[in-house]
Amino acid sequence: MRGRCPAVVVILLAALAGCGGSGSNEGGDRQLRVLAASSLTEPLDALADEFEADHPGVSVTAIYGSSATLASQVIEGAPADVLATADLDTMTTVEEAGAVLGPTSFAGNRLVLVTPADNPAGLSSFADLSSSEVTFVACVETAPCGKVARALLDRNGVPTQPRSLEIDVKAVLTKVTTGEADAGLVYASDAQAAGNEVQTFAVPGSAQEQNTYAIAVVEASSHGDLAAEWVDLVLSERGQSELAEAGFGPAPDTAP
């Protein structure tokens, strides 16, 4: 009896630590941990398969989330090899904290207007948002997609306000696809991923208000060489075409 309970606790903790550590233990696999903005899910998953095929014994684990959350995780020392953010500001914060090495911009994304497939409010263009009858949603202005949405609404002189400032772009898309909102401002890549579930309309001036995606090797990475190869793949022609297929554009010029 003596000490059984603590022993059980130790075993459980060890098992948990195992989960957190090198997840795969098939003959000393190397694991590349990529932390990326959730809008990158589709193209990076495709590139991960390719990377694994080219690097036997390497498994790529992609963790998707909001850029700000991932950035603070990297600053706080979460295990990671590569960080990809949906905007330059967030990456700059991480770079200034000394947590990443020399970031590069690798893609751009512009906002589009989406409606549910049956377009219940009968929108025919972005200008129809000005009608007070239309319930539309956008990202909260503290998030990159919200900053761009605010800039575009101002630039086009839309007098009406969003009914809700959703906490991330996926939440905006969900409000539209579930029919709670008549329209929403999401990234072109999200609209592409939603396929037939939405109708997509262009937003005037969206090319001038793009956000820039940045990628960098994490300073504390234990596989710096592999991480650099991953960044090269994303920047390569192959990586760029995968991104273009998912609705992303090339990285816009950094000049304002």
Residues 48-107 that bind another protein (CB under 8 A): 66, 68-69, 72, 89
Sign of CA dihedral 173, 176, 181, 182: positive
Choose among 26, 23, 21: nearest CA to 79: 21
Per CB under 8 A, 164 contacts another protein: yes
Q: How many CB atoms lie within 10 A of CB 64?
A: 17
Q: How far apart are CB 16 and another protein at their closest, in Å?
A: 15
Per CB under 8 A, 135 contacts another protein: yes
Pick from 142, 222, 236, 241 the residue near another protein by CB under 8 A: 142
CA distances from 161 to 6, 29, 122 (A): 57, 51, 18
- 172 φ, ψ to 5°? -60, -50
With 0-12 / 13-18 / 19 or more C-beta atoms within 10 angstroms meaning exposed / middle / buried, residue 36 is buried
Q: How far apart are CB 239 and another protein at their closest, in Å?
A: 27
Q: How far apart are CB 180 and another protein at their closest, in Å?
A: 5
Per CB under 8 A, 123 contacts another protein: no
Tell me the window of 10-18, 138-146, 213-221, 236-244 that interacts with another protein (CB under 8 A): 138-146
Distance (Å, rounded) from C-alpha 230 to C-alpha 236? 10
Tell me the window of 23-31, 47-55, 139-147, 229-237 that interacts with another protein (CB under 8 A): 139-147
Site residues for another protein per CB under 8 A: 6, 66, 68-69, 72, 89, 135, 137, 140-143, 161-167, 171, 175, 178-181
